[in-house]
Structure 1
Amino acid sequence: MLRFTVKEVFSLNIQKCEICGNQFTWREVGRSTTAGFGYQPLICKKCGTKHEVTMMTRIIVALLVPIVLFILNSSNLLPFYIPFYIGFLIILVLFFTVMLSFPYFAKYKVVQKS
């Protein structure tokens, strides 16, 4: 069973290295996510520890955009027909919003200590 503390759930800070406490930057986390359109390991610049994105973070990212689209579609927020290009634009905006905010909710785990 997954259990999270209140601090973990409502924390919107970029994660630190679990070994040395070095603060990762938004750019480092962003590059590890978008490099090759996959999740690349994040390596601490201070101690060289290798971190990988947790499976829960991957699931959240994969389901975030479809869930928001389902909610918009099933609620009365969009009671009218949307042309394809407007729907495509909404999907792009949601995708980039998730990608830009990813470093703030991404959780990493240590894979290899150096």
Structure 2
Amino acid sequence: MCKKQFSWREIGKSTSNLFIRPKVECSNCDQEYKITISSYIVAMLLRSILILVTFFVIKIDYFSNGINIIIFLVSVAIIFFIEPYLVKYKKIEK
């Protein structure tokens, strides 16, 4: 295990599709890593909660369309920019 940190881009790519538990390959030692189950669950819950909150805020129709778009964009930004920092990886034993 080389202890090299994954770049934000590598982690971002691996968390973009959470319907499967994605793998990341270390560019330094060619070892494969997978998102831990707990990180996977946290990432899915974060996405689900933000999507539901955004849906209900837009559904209430209390805000104007401009505010709804801003709320949606902030939710997407939270998912794509904060989520990669929350995930943990473990080495896949071959």
TM-score normalised by the chain length of structure 1: 0.57
**Distance across 2 between alignment mates of 1:65 and 1:31:** 16
Q: Counting helix residues as a fraction of each chain, which structure ranks higher? A: 2
Give the root-mean-square deviation of aligned CA atoms: 2.9
Task: Map 1:10-49 onto structure 2 (within 5 A).
Answer: 19-34=1-16, 37-38=17-18, 39-49=21-31
Contact 2:36 2:90 in 1 (8 A): yes
How far is the alpha carbon of 1:97 from its aligned partner? 1.6
Q: Residue 50 of structure 1: which of 32, 52, 62 is its match?
A: 32
User: Which residue in the other structure is 2:46 paired with?
Assistant: 64
Residue identity opposite 2:74 in structure 1: V
Determine helix, strand or coil for the equivalent of 1:92.
helix
Identity %: 31
Structure 2 unaligned spans of 5+: none
CA pair 24-58 structure 1, distance change in 2 beyond 3 A:
same
CA pair 57-95 structure 1, distance change in 2 beyond 3 A:
farther
**Distance across 2 between alignment mates of 1:59 and 1:46:** 28
Contact 2:2 2:28 in 1 (8 A): yes
**Distance across 2 between alignment mates of 1:23 and 1:63:** 25
User: Which residue in the other structure is 2:76 paired with?
Assistant: 95
Whether 1:82 aligns to 2:37 is no
Q: How many residues align?
A: 86
